[in-house]
Amino acid sequence: MTPSPAIECGGTPHGTQFATSDGPDIAAHTPNHEELWRLTLDVPADDCWKRAELDYSPTGRWLAIEAGDNALEWRKDQPTLTIVDTATGAVAAQLPKSQGSLNCLSWHPNDNLLAVSTLKGQVLLVDLATDDVRTLMEPTGLPHAISWHPDGTRLVVAEFDIVDDDEHNTLHFIDATGTLLWQATGFDSAPLLLTWNHDGTLLASGHDDTSVRLWDPTTGHLKHTLNLPEAGFPRQAFWVKGLAFSRDSSRLLVVTSDSYATLWDIATAELLSSHQAEWNAERGRALLSRDGTTLIGQDSEAVRGIDPTSGKTQWLITPPDETWIIDVDAHPTTGHLLVGVSEW
């Protein structure tokens, strides 16, 4: 069977199912491209091109479908979040537009809890076991990024705010009830990305001036600030696009929107390598292979496997004629790649 055209793609952690979106049409397939189910979102006809983000839960039981890049233009009665039972394709829950357009989301490790932040400035908790939606916190600014700790005991909320023309940035650590555990303030660049190392002992935040900060999650103390080289132009004009820890947490890969890739030693905060990447990082995606030896860079023209130390391309995947690559995802166990391709 021919796979569906895709504007977004994603796969379950165990690799038995992957989903693609093409406008409002969501389809799930086996790795052999056998269709399991298909769902069409109820959106206005002129909104059908809009991108729908796909996020599987940790066990793959649920699929969260976010409304897309231009959710603010959707009708007020349209849901901005749809959660689907991946065994049947049935809709399990929806978050109405009245609760705010989504900014970001994070699945809890127990699979039934989903934290979402909205452009209204709320952080909500969707409980699929009880069909309950409750407010965890309402920061004064905009939650740019949220991420559950790997053991599920706390949620990090990265907030950006402007007060009297001054920029205020805060990291909040809260528990599943919304109780504040600690917070970090005083840094002058907005945190855009949050990434945990594999055992949850270190949190990396990527910022809008290409800096990266490493945090101790038990105390909230800042351990290191990684400032990228100037490279002949102001770094403040760009931002962190991708963060990835190696499996042993000894190294951190940082990719910025101007397509620079840097590799850092975590213990010493030493810059190990820096090079101009060979793809358009601003409009693509950056991953680190499971063994930490390959940087996977995706843009519309190709998916490249790159040596993160030398910057040299090791392998190349190109799309068929009259198509372009719109997304890539990696299986967390096997490392196999899922590449989404769309037709002109």
High-pLDDT (> 70) share of the chain, %? 81
As given in the structure block, the two tokens for residue 270 are: 């030493």
CA distance 172 to 139: 9
Please name the residues in contact with 191: beta carbons below 8 A apart, sequence gap of 6 or more: 144, 145, 158, 160, 169, 171, 205, 206, 207, 213
CA atoms within 13 A of residue 32's CA, in its CB half-sphere: 1
Long-range Cβ pairs for the range 153-161 (8 Å, 24+): 154/181, 154/217, 155/106, 155/115, 155/123, 156/194, 156/203, 156/217, 157/117, 157/123, 158/190, 158/191, 158/192, 158/194, 158/205, 160/190, 160/191
Please name the residues in contact with 309: beta carbons below 8 A apart, sequence gap of 6 or more: 263, 272, 273
Average model confidence (pLDDT) for the chain?
81
Nearest to 262 by CA among 285, 237, 286: 286
pLDDT of residue 50: 52
CA distance 169 to 173: 14
pLDDT of residue 125: 94
pLDDT of residue 1: 37
Virtual torsion, Cα 316, 321, 326, 327, nearest 10 deg: -40
pLDDT of residue 100: 64
Residue 74 DSSP symbol: S
Residue 2 DSSP symbol: P
Sheet holding 191-196, edge to edge: 191-196, 203-207, 212-215, 222-226
Report, as an integer, the average pLDDT of 283-294: 74
pLDDT higher at 19 or 162: 19
8 Å CB contact between 57 and 65: no
CA distance 328 to 336: 10
CA distance 243 to 234: 20
- Per mean pLDDT, which range of 60-64, 87-91, 186-190, 286-290 is the poorest? 286-290
Q: How confident is the model at residue 5 (pLDDT cuts 50, 70, 90)?
A: very low
pLDDT tens, 38-87? 988 776 544 444 556 788 999 889 999 886 544 444 444 455 788 999 99
pLDDT of residue 343: 67
CA distance 342 to 344: 7
8 Å CB contact between 200 and 179: no
Q: How confident is the model at residue 113 (pLDDT cuts 50, 70, 90)?
A: very high
pLDDT tens, 216-229? 988 888 999 998 76
pLDDT of residue 153: 93
High-pLDDT (> 90) share of the chain, %? 30
Residue 7 has pLDDT above 60, yes or no: no
pLDDT tens, 234-254? 455 688 888 888 888 898 988
* Residue given tokens 């800096």 in the structure block: 211
* Residue given tokens 């680190």 in the structure block: 288
- Per mean pLDDT, which range of 24-33, 42-51, 115-124, 290-299 is the poorest? 42-51
pLDDT of residue 210: 87
As given in the structure block, the two tokens for residue 295 are: 């940087």
Residue 128 has pLDDT above 50, yes or no: yes
pLDDT higher at 27 or 281: 27
